[in-house]
Amino acid sequence: MKAFTEKGAFVVLVRVSTLDGKDMLKPRTDLQLSPPHYPEGWDQIVPELAQYQGTYTLTKHQWGAFFGSDLDLQLRRRGIRTIVLCGISTSIGVDTTAREAYQLG
């Protein structure tokens, strides 16, 4: 991240958060899910990343970072056509975001 911010790249920090759980994705499945319990601070950007100045923090409420956010608009207004993705939930969050980016061109 340091290399990107030092070069003036547009760096987006994506976090998952919820006000009351009602704004989160609720896929219809045969599986009965109990309401999740979120520990204190679960949705905060870790201090090692939050310390970087000039980053854009985006809050998402579903698997991908594009749907329901202004990420596409932010990238298009800056003329950004190439993105680098990384994250902690590669098979869901990062993968879905990559597929959404591809669909949006």
Q: What is the overall mean pLDDT for the chain?
A: 90
- Give me the residue label for tokens 């809050």: 59
Q: What is the pLDDT of residue 73?
A: 97
Mean pLDDT for the stretch of residues 93-105: 95
Residue 31 in this model has a pLDDT that exceeds 80: no
Between 18 and 11, the more confident residue is 11
Give this prediction's pTM: 0.85
Closest CA to 10 of 82, 105, 97: 82
- CA pseudo-torsion sign 82, 5, 66, 100: positive
Which residue reads 């061109």 in tokens?
105
List, for residues 35-54, the tens digit of each pLDDT value: 778 899 989 999 999 999 89
